[in-house]
Amino acid sequence: MTSALRAADAAASKKGERVVVLDMRDVTLIADYFVIVSAMNVIQVESIAEAVQEALQSQGLTRLNHSAKTSGHWVLLDYGSVVVHIFTEAERNYYDLERLWGDARIVERQPLNKMPAH
């Protein structure tokens, strides 16, 4: 779960919106966690993707697949146990993964700006 939370924090650090971590372990064998995040435009989608990749690479994770769908309006980063979906808002609403995977538990996390200082 640490990798999923790190990906979520990296997305939030680039002003990703509606960042959600879904626990997929009881729902599918595809991945243990999905991280779903919205961006305002395709430039922000790419910026968030780069931040997530840097964060997970620094944790020693290797990306298995990077897929840009619908002209950069949806980027999927597959790390095996964690799959990160970065959407423009319109694409996120269209695909509605939270509804599609509605049986998955939402992982509670502290938003970056609400985390206690160390």
Q: Looking at the predicted structure, is the pLDDT value of residue 35 above 90?
A: yes
What is the predicted pLDDT for the residue at 65? 84
Q: Looking at the predicted structure, is the pLDDT value of residue 113 above 60?
A: no
Rg (CA), the chain: 13
**CB-side neighbour CA atoms (13 Å) of 19:** 24
Distances 85 to 35, 52, 89 between C-alpha atoms, Å:
6, 11, 12
Q: What is the mean pLDDT of residues 89-117?
A: 83
Q: Which amino acid does the sequence have at 74?
A: W
Instruction: Please provide the CATH number assigned to the domain covering 2-108.
Output: 3.30.460.10
What is the predicted pLDDT for the residue at 81? 94
pLDDT digits (tens, 9 = 90+) for 42-99: 999 999 999 999 999 999 998 998 887 767 899 999 999 999 999 999 999 999 999 9
Q: Which of 95, 86, 98, 75 is CA-nearest to residue 24?
A: 98
Q: Looking at the predicted structure, is the pLDDT value of residue 116 above 60?
A: no
What is the predicted pLDDT for the residue at 7? 97
DSSP 70: G
Cα separation, 37 vs 46, whole angstroms: 12
pLDDT digits (tens, 9 = 90+) for 3-13: 999 999 999 99
- If phi > 0 it is left, if psi is from -120 to 50 it is alpha, else beta; for residue 18 that is left
What is the predicted pLDDT for the residue at 67? 84
Evaluate whether 67 touches 83 at the Cβ level (below 8 Å): no
**pTM of this prediction?**
0.88
- Alpha helix stretches (DSSP H) within 1-118: 2-13, 42-58, 89-95, 97-100
